[in-house]
């Protein structure tokens, strides 16, 4: 089991709702590697956190927070992906 330390929070980033558009009908051809621009901030669900997080008393498992997506760190260990963010990049609690 993963346990964050050093002010890190383990999160699951909420999936973005992506609008599907039919580019074949419009005649617009996009490159295969095209990806729409991501929003800077996104909602995430808290899984676990380090006891030294500065707002530790405000967190519970499944608390929804707003994070800066550019600061997300993904760790892959034993075919498992763990997503963490430093408490400094949490901009709000929902």
Predicted pLDDT at 20? 58
Cα end-to-end span (Å), the chain = 26
**Rounded Cα–Cα distance for residues 59 and 44 (Å):** 12
Please check whether residue 5 is in contact with residue 77, taking contact to mean a CB–CB distance below 8 angstroms: no
Predicted pLDDT at 28? 79
- The pLDDT tens digits of the residues spanning 35-89 come to 777 899 999 999 999 999 999 999 999 999 999 999 999 999 999 999 999 999 9
Q: How far is CA 82 from CA 21, 22, 47, 94, in A?
A: 31, 34, 10, 22
How many of the other CB atoms lie within 10 Å of CB of 36?
A: 10
User: Please, what are the domains in the chain?
Assistant: 1-14+36-94 (2.30.33.40)
Predicted pLDDT at 36? 78
Split at pLDDT 50, 70, 90, the class of 30 is: confident
């Amino acid at each position: 089991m993963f346990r964050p330390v050093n002010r890190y929070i383990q999160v699951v980033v909420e999936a973005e709702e992506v609008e599907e558009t039919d580019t074949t009908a419009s005649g617009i051809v996009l490159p295969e590697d095209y990806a729409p621009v991501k929003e800077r901030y996104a909602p995430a669900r808290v899984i676990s956190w380090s006891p030294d997080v500065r707002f530790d008393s405000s967190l519970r498992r499944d608390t929804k927070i707003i994070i800066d997506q550019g600061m997300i760190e993904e760790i892959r260990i034993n075919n498992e992906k763990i997503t963490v963010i430093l408490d400094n990049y949490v901009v709000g609690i929902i």
